[in-house]
Structure 1
Amino acid sequence: MKLAKRPLWLFLTALLVFLIVGVNEGSHAFAKTAAMENEFQQAAKRYQVPVALLKAVSYNESRWDSHSGKPSVAGGYGVMHLTDVTGLTTSGADSAAVKTPNAASLHTLQKAAKLTGLSVHQLKTNTAANIQGGAALLRFYQKSLGKSLTANLNSWYAAVAKYSQSDSKAAANYFAENVYQILKDGESQNGITIAPQKVVHLKDQSINSDSTASSTDGPSGLPIEWIPALYKEFDDQGDYGNYDLADRPNDMKINYIVIHNTETSFQEALDLFSTPTYTTANYVVSSVEGTVAEMVRPQNVAWHAGNWYINSHSIGIEHEGYATVGGFWYTENMYRSSAALVKYLANQYDIPLDRQHIIGHDNVPGLTPAAQKTMHWDPGTYWNWDHYFSLMGVNLRQNQGRTDSSIITITPDSQHNLTADSGEKVTDAGVNLPLAGSNFVYLYRQPSFSSSLIADKDFSSGQSGTTEKDDWGDKAVFGQQFNQIGQSGDWTEITYGCQNAWFYNPNGANSTSATGKLVTPKGNKAVSVYGSAYPSNQILKKNKVTGITPTPIYQIQPGQKYVYGGEVTADYFNSHFDSNSPKNVIHGNERYYQIQFNHRIAFVKADDVTLSSH
């Protein structure tokens, strides 16, 4: 197409405006990070705290993210995570008053206010003030231990442990170890840098970790305690709870680790699993301290996922906090403890560290179409899968570089993946929630923000999806993989739950090329999709299992392709109280392929499909 001539002055003016805007935006971003760097320097100098140590404590608490003044699920504010649970306000349609202990560890803002002379409001909302509050606390702890305000990083170990606010020696020690590991490795993010430091991990006798390693299943150094869940027969009719004895992985392979959040306090979760409630998890992780309670041994089957097949083949980990109510971000202490635990368990039980095997409760399918709508959606919109996997040494953004592969990994930037100027939002019964920190991209029927969102037949009776926090039918989450079938400008088209769906992907900002295998139906017939890999009805009946029928939940149409997640052989755990006999596991002959179907994983029979590399 021939372009009409335009005056040179108009072109130069436009160019000048572009350059000025670009410089101003870049300068603003640079100024913001430069200001925080300067704020660390000033606070460190004023309170005579080594600046690298101050930065490392801050990074271990918040990764230098102020979260726009929003509290964490533990009531912590700002880059130093100064706590004030009395000021924690709830938001959302299902907001409720939450009982929290009146411990000093949950009110460090008040202590910091006394030490600095700054108001609690300033410490919550102003980053410079927040950093000063953290520095003042570190100085106070160092002096209270009778130690000098030295530049020697190693002499601050006990003060750092006290900064954790933990009454648990193991948890305080673990916090300090994480900080000193950051110092040793160095860190650089958002224009702030810690150069690698020569440090020796010096453990004062006052903070030696508790000796629990012999009685728990977890990595060395993790602040973990054995707190058994209830296991009891409730009557003489076969009613019992809250989990099943097994001999995994000898009788059944452990294929998954399921991530949950409690929607209660840590203690309330422990109490819940210790009473006749027919629910448990193998582990519970606290938000304030990162302490871990092991409640059901990994070899046993906890009742946590709402899908008996997934329960039988998974380990469930609950995390203290609220997916959207109260706080808007999960604590670094919790992420680090949980990631260390998952990495340990994955190694112990040969579980792949990917998003088809390390899954959220929201990724667990229902066993029937009717069950789909009632399945849970935690850990929710604000669980940072990107950071979580990076703590396990896995980079899900790693481009695998094959130009002929149609497989992509969903990798949105949690700070910019949803765009307010396009009208995108996240809601809780119509109440707006933050965009920043969300972990997904919305899926549209057409490549346009004016198009309707796709809908899942088993979640909504409507034709369009919603922006509601629990509407999993129109969301593709970080780390999930799909088959790309089209591209139109800034929009990418994928196969998702039997539909063609589009997501906004300018210059590939929200996806990464990947390799793997694709599953597609054989021939010209639709293929059944299941929420389990159960044996056939014939085998189940032969073993006197009643009330269990492998039920299709969807139908894959010919030509549709889904990313392969591994092969499993059919089985069913026919559990009984006080029995872990191998005979309880009923084995079938059918082979199933796991796939990433929509927001949730699913299974297809291997004989019904073909498998190809991409």
Structure 2
Amino acid sequence: MKKHEGLFSQVRWLFIVIAFVGMVIGLNTQLVHAKASSLETDFQRAAAKYQVPVDLLKAVAYNESAFDSHNGKPSVAGGYGVMHLTDTTGLTPSGSDSKAVKVPNTASLHTLQKAAKLTGHSVGQLKTNSAANIDGGAALLAAYQKSLGKGLTSNIGSWSAAVKKYSQSDSQAAADFFAANVYKILAKGVNHNGVKISPQKVNALKDEAIDTTGESGQTDGPAGLPIEWIPALYKTFDDQGDYGNYDLADRPNDEKINYIVIHNTETSFQEALTLFSTPTYTTANYVVSSVEGTVAEMVRPQNVAWHAGNWYINSHSIGIEHEGYAAVGGYWYTENMYKSSAALVKYLADKYQIPLDRQHIIGHDNVPGLTPAAQKGMHWDPGTYWNWNHYFELMGVDLSKSDGSTDSHIITITPNDKTNLTADSGQKVTDDGVNLPLAGSNFVYLYEQPSFSADLIADKDFSSGQSGTTEKDDWGDKAVYGQQFSKIDQQGDWTEIDYGGQGAWFYNPGGANSTDATGKLVTAKGSKAVPVYGSAYPSDSILKKNKVTGIKPTPIYQLQPGQKYVYGGTVTSDYFNSHFNSNSPKNVIHGTDDYYQIQFNHRIAFVKASDTTLSDD
């Protein structure tokens, strides 16, 4: 009897364990589902409370934040939560590119206070509690609809004027652009973060028609973009030939436009316009505002703006500055900014035949220096929290889509911005030693060995130490979303790549932080190291023949035998020898050397085709 009881006891406990595990799994599933659906419930409740069409409320939220609360952290425009309620009180933008200035005290930057009065929720609740934040957005929409003398109707088409007011824009074009994006979301539908909007046919009422034609007839941008021509300063500063803030050219007829460089202003939008309109020797082709997504075109694309800190890249690129207060307190960029910028980049890339990839749509942090000394001082914007994945998705490009096989030697860095860095591993991101959020970061750390306890790699032209740091501006130990490298080895959850002249390991469990890719690889010919350059300039002899002094191709690194780097295209050497008020083709000095562009480390670089071998993966 005891023997049978023992057997029964084991079976009984087995069933109990199975039942318990099933219950735990069920509870966990319910918790995950509850978490995913809580936003949906919050939208339903707020819409009913303030008599706003629920799908309209969701569409406005998705247009503002893609349903991401960012854990209560402010955007670079001082916006909080899924409804992007703004409060810039106490924010002071600052950075290496500008003096500290106060954030403009405008109503558009303080919608959170108005929402607090309408809902009775505290400012703190509106910032950190999603349900309260959605209440605030719904209350604002209802208030705007009433202020227009309109009823709180279920007809979504009659709310377009209120949606325009929600944009907080003084620009009609910007307000129209915002509303047009909201109604596109309704037409297309969304299923994201547990919130669903079914595709629907919705038209704004005739008396509220949305103008999406914009003013692009007088500017260089796509139809419907809220863009205005605000010219940068172009004049001589003395009688010695000193001038600024850009150069006349005839691109792409005299020089091909190969790159679009993404910047962050670290100033207000207006401050950037002022900076580029005064004798500062700096400007960009475009500036995009954060709250509204309005665009100022300041230098025509055919002309050369002074923005990249690398004359060769300037000559072959278009620079786009983005308003932001990221240096102090802001951790994410607004949807209005992303959408305007993405629409502009897609338009420019199509017009000038620029590939939509991360070797040609680059950050200022990807621009190399022309010399080793310059390399150390190159900028690091748009920084840790620029969402390259989302940005390219808005342009219709999925950088995480695999086009290679599992035995491919080329991989694309594609980390999940919510899980790529983990506190459990001891990883952190810091700003002068102060911890910043891990979620939303766009990179993977690179280690000397396949272990979290190993030192981070260091770049000889950036760090004076033997190992890298967790500082957000330390670009020497970070590989960013969309960049491609040659895979050397795999050990467990760790992947090794060729990076900046050394092997570098990153945490990649199950390939979670990379995607297999195809392409071509560049290696050194023979058994000797070959020079790596920050430009594709003509030879010293050709430059001297054309009376160009003080400029010569200068190596910034060495490509060692056996190392492989991903090919980004072939360019023939040239130098833009600019002069004030002259856009003659004679200003462009053409060389005879072909260069291969490569992704060498965090920054792109160039090697001579004659020094290297180009091969398929």
Give the structure-1-normalised TM-score: 0.95
Rounded Cα–Cα distance in structure 2 between residues aligned with 1:334 and 1:22: 41
Of residues 325, 328, 353, the one that matches 2:328 is 325
Q: Report the equivalent of 1:369.
A: 372
Instruction: Specify whether residues 67 and 208 from structure 1 end up closer, same or farther in structure 2 by C-alpha distance, changes over 3 A only.
Output: same
**1:149-202 deviations in whole A, cap 9, x for unaligned?**
222211111111111011100000000000000101001111111110111255
**1:209-229 deviations in whole A, cap 9, x for unaligned?**
796222210000100000000
Q: Report the equivalent of 2:360.
A: 357
Q: Report the equivalent of 1:518.
A: 521
Instruction: Specify whether residues 93 and 565 from structure 1 end up closer, same or farther in structure 2 by C-alpha distance, changes over 3 A only.
Output: closer
**1:560-604 deviations in whole A, cap 9, x for unaligned?**
100000000000000000000000000001000000000000001
1:463 to 2:466 alignment: yes
Instruction: Specify whether residues 10 and 240 from structure 1 end up closer, same or farther in structure 2 by C-alpha distance, changes over 3 A only.
Output: farther
Instruction: Specify whether residues 409 and 211 from structure 1 end up closer, same or farther in structure 2 by C-alpha distance, changes over 3 A only.
Output: closer
1:612 to 2:615 alignment: yes
**1:534-576 deviations in whole A, cap 9, x for unaligned?**
0000100000000001001111111110000000000000000
**Contact 1:242 1:280 survives alignment (8 Å):** yes
Of residues 543, 557, 561, the one that matches 1:558 is 561
1:39 to 2:42 alignment: yes
Q: Report the equivalent of 2:4.
A: none
Rounded Cα–Cα distance in structure 1 between residues aligned with 2:213 and 2:287: 18
Rounded Cα–Cα distance in structure 1 between residues aligned with 2:414 and 2:285: 29
Rounded Cα–Cα distance in structure 1 between residues aligned with 2:315 and 2:260: 11
CA shift for structure 1 position 110: 1.6
Rounded Cα–Cα distance in structure 2 between residues aligned with 1:184 and 1:72: 27
Instruction: Specify whether residues 574 and 134 from structure 1 end up closer, same or farther in structure 2 by C-alpha distance, changes over 3 A only.
Output: same
Instruction: Specify whether residues 103 and 487 from structure 1 end up closer, same or farther in structure 2 by C-alpha distance, changes over 3 A only.
Output: same
Rounded Cα–Cα distance in structure 1 between residues aligned with 2:98 and 2:27: 40
Of residues 538, 544, 547, the one that matches 1:535 is 538
Quick check: 157-166 or 204-213, which moved more?
Answer: 204-213
1:596 to 2:599 alignment: yes
Quick check: 188-197 or 305-314, which moved more?
Answer: 188-197
Instruction: Specify whether residues 241 and 41 from structure 1 end up closer, same or farther in structure 2 by C-alpha distance, changes over 3 A only.
Output: same
Q: Report the equivalent of 2:156.
A: 153
- 5 Å-filtered alignment, 1:65-80, equals 65-80=68-83
**1:356-398 deviations in whole A, cap 9, x for unaligned?**
0000000000001111110000000000000000000000010
Rounded Cα–Cα distance in structure 2 between residues aligned with 1:609 and 1:258: 27
Q: Report the equivalent of 1:482.
A: 485
Q: Report the equivalent of 2:7.
A: none
Q: 3-state DSSP class of the match of 1:86?
A: coil
**Contact 1:282 1:302 survives alignment (8 Å):** yes
**Contact 1:93 1:428 survives alignment (8 Å):** no
- 5 Å-filtered alignment, 1:132-531, equals 132-202=135-205, 204=207, 208=211, 212-531=215-534
Rounded Cα–Cα distance in structure 2 between residues aligned with 1:92 and 1:227: 24
CA shift for structure 1 position 204: 4.1
**1:86-133 deviations in whole A, cap 9, x for unaligned?**
154889999996412222111111211222222222211211111111
- In structure 2, what residue type is equivalent to 1:192? V
Rounded Cα–Cα distance in structure 2 between residues aligned with 1:95 and 1:35: 42
**1:448-481 deviations in whole A, cap 9, x for unaligned?**
0000000000001211000011111100000000
Rounded Cα–Cα distance in structure 2 between residues aligned with 1:67 and 1:454: 30
Instruction: Specify whether residues 239 and 89 from structure 1 end up closer, same or farther in structure 2 by C-alpha distance, changes over 3 A only.
Output: closer
Unaligned stretches of 5+ residues in structure 1: 1-6
Give the structure-2-normalised TM-score: 0.95
- In structure 2, what residue type is equivalent to 1:105? S
Instruction: Specify whether residues 201 and 309 from structure 1 end up closer, same or farther in structure 2 by C-alpha distance, changes over 3 A only.
Output: farther
CA shift for structure 1 position 272: 0.3
Quick check: 534-543 or 520-529, which moved more?
Answer: 520-529
Instruction: Specify whether residues 556 and 429 from structure 1 end up closer, same or farther in structure 2 by C-alpha distance, changes over 3 A only.
Output: same
Q: Report the equivalent of 2:5.
A: none
**Contact 2:448 2:454 survives alignment (8 Å):** yes
Instruction: Specify whether residues 387 and 428 from structure 1 end up closer, same or farther in structure 2 by C-alpha distance, changes over 3 A only.
Output: same
Instruction: Specify whether residues 37 and 375 from structure 1 end up closer, same or farther in structure 2 by C-alpha distance, changes over 3 A only.
Output: same
Instruction: Specify whether residues 11 and 427 from structure 1 end up closer, same or farther in structure 2 by C-alpha distance, changes over 3 A only.
Output: farther
- In structure 2, what residue type is equivalent to 1:127? S
**Contact 1:366 1:372 survives alignment (8 Å):** yes
Rounded Cα–Cα distance in structure 1 between residues aligned with 2:327 and 2:420: 18
Quick check: 243-252 or 326-335, which moved more?
Answer: 326-335
Rounded Cα–Cα distance in structure 2 between residues aligned with 1:28 and 1:172: 39
Quick check: 433-442 or 149-158, which moved more?
Answer: 149-158
CA shift for structure 1 position 203: 6.3
Of residues 16, 40, 51, the one that matches 1:48 is 51
Rounded Cα–Cα distance in structure 1 between residues aligned with 2:529 and 2:600: 15
Instruction: Specify whether residues 527 and 204 from structure 1 end up closer, same or farther in structure 2 by C-alpha distance, changes over 3 A only.
Output: farther
Q: 3-state DSSP class of the match of 1:494?
A: strand
Q: Report the equivalent of 1:586.
A: 589
- In structure 2, what residue type is equivalent to 1:298? P
Rounded Cα–Cα distance in structure 2 between residues aligned with 1:269 and 1:94: 10
**Contact 1:245 1:300 survives alignment (8 Å):** yes
Of residues 102, 126, 140, the one that matches 1:123 is 126
- In structure 2, what residue type is equivalent to 1:67? H
CA shift for structure 1 position 324: 3.9
Q: 3-state DSSP class of the match of 2:89?
A: helix
Q: 3-state DSSP class of the match of 2:144?
A: helix
Quick check: 350-359 or 22-31, which moved more?
Answer: 22-31
**Contact 1:256 1:315 survives alignment (8 Å):** yes
**Contact 2:266 2:327 survives alignment (8 Å):** no
Unaligned stretches of 5+ residues in structure 2: 1-9
Quick check: 317-326 or 416-425, which moved more?
Answer: 317-326
Size of the aligned set, in residue pairs, is 608
**Contact 1:84 1:109 survives alignment (8 Å):** yes
